Amino acid sequence: MKYNYVEKAVQITRREFIGLAGVAAAALWTGAYAVTDLVEDRNKYIKMRMAGLYKDDEKQAVRQSHNNKSLMQMYGKLAGKPMSPLAEELFHTQYVNRMIS
């Protein structure tokens, strides 16, 4: 035997053990709760901005595009009606093949 002395065994009372486990659990749970809370709220600013727009929508006297009087006036004076030849020229487009080989 290389050695003839050892350290005396460590005594942990049951009370101490439960206390330790309790504190550890409480700390871990609080930490997890805080982090998951923060993570769940990560989209809050997006929702706030969206809510602002929907509020703007509700405030409007007119809420459908086809009832926009000024827009109808513009059609009257310029393009005539949607998808007319002039509307096709000004308001429609074609798309491009950009595939990189």
Partner 1 sequence: MNILKTFDIQDVVLKHTLPVRLFHWCLVLGFLPAGITGIVLFLRPFSSEGMHLAMQIHILGAGLLTLACICFFIFQPGRVVSFWREIFSWTKNDIDWMKVSGGYPQKILFGKEIPVPPMRKINSGQKLMGIFVFFAGIVVILTGCILYVALPLVPKEIAWYTDKIHLIVGMCLLVAVCGGHIPLGIYNWKEFICMFGDGTIKIKDIVKHNPLWIEQDIEKIK
Partner 2 sequence: MQKSYQNHELHNIIQIDPKVCKGCDSCKSFCPADAIEGSYGATHSINDERCLQCGQCLVNCPFGSIQDTVDVVDDVIEKLQDGKSTVVAMVAPAVRVALGEAFGMEPGTLVTQKMYGALKKAGFKIMDVNFAADNTIMEEGTELVEKIQTYILNQPNEHNLGPLPQFTSCCPAWVRYVELYHPNLREHLSSAKSPQGMAGPVVKIYGAQEIWNVAPEDIYCVGIYPCTAKKFEASRPEFTAAADYWKKRGHSANYQDTDVVLTTRDLARLLKKLSIDIQTVEPADENDNPLAEYTGAGTIFGATGGVMEAALRTAYFVTTGQELSTLDYEPVRGLQQVKTANVPLRLKNNGPEIVLKVAVVHGTKNVEPLLKEVEQGISPYHFIEVMNCPGGCVNGGGQPINPMGTSWVGKFKAIFPWS
CA distance 88 to 80: 11
Binding residues (CB under 8 A) for partner 1: these are: 1-10, 12, 16-17, 20, 31, 35, 38-39, 41-42
Minimum distance, C-beta of residue 74 to partner 2, in the bound complex (Å): 5
Minimum distance, C-beta of residue 4 to partner 2, in the bound complex (Å): 49
Give the DSSP letter of residue 4.
S
Structural tokens at position 13: 């009372």
Nearer to partner 2, 6 or 100 (CB): 100
Which range touches partner 2 (CB under 8 A), out of 2-10, 12-20, 25-33, 90-98? 90-98
Check if the beta carbon of residue 86 is closer than 8 Å to that of residue 97: no
Site for partner 2 in 37-76 (CB under 8 A): 39-60, 62-71, 73-75
Structural tokens at position 17: 């053990």
